[in-house]
Amino acid sequence: MDAVWNAVLQLFGEYGASQTNLILMKHNLKPNYAIFRCSHKALDMVKASLASITQINGKPIALRVLGVSGTLKALQRQKPEIQI
């Protein structure tokens, strides 16, 4: 989460970060996924921030968005392999 917040702050500053309403809803290390909640108006900002992250704790990483949904229930229908 620190890496995501730092990316948002670097790209959009404190005002931009405050507009995202970004919250980590769930993460799972075994299948390697995380579910974030954000304002629908800031979706493009969050996607850009995630794409800009190239390393975490000195280790190279590549993040990608698997899906976007308005509700957790719809996300579960889109991606049944993700247990919410």
Confidence (pTM): 0.84
Domain 2-78 has CATH 3.30.70.3250: yes
pLDDT for 14 equals: 95
Average pLDDT value for residue range 55-76: 90
Q: What is the pLDDT of residue 28?
A: 87
pLDDT of 81: 76
Tell me the per-residue pLDDT of 35-47, one tens digit each, with 9 for 90 and over: 999 999 999 999 9
36 touches 26 (CB < 8 A): no
Structural domain spans, the chain: 2-78
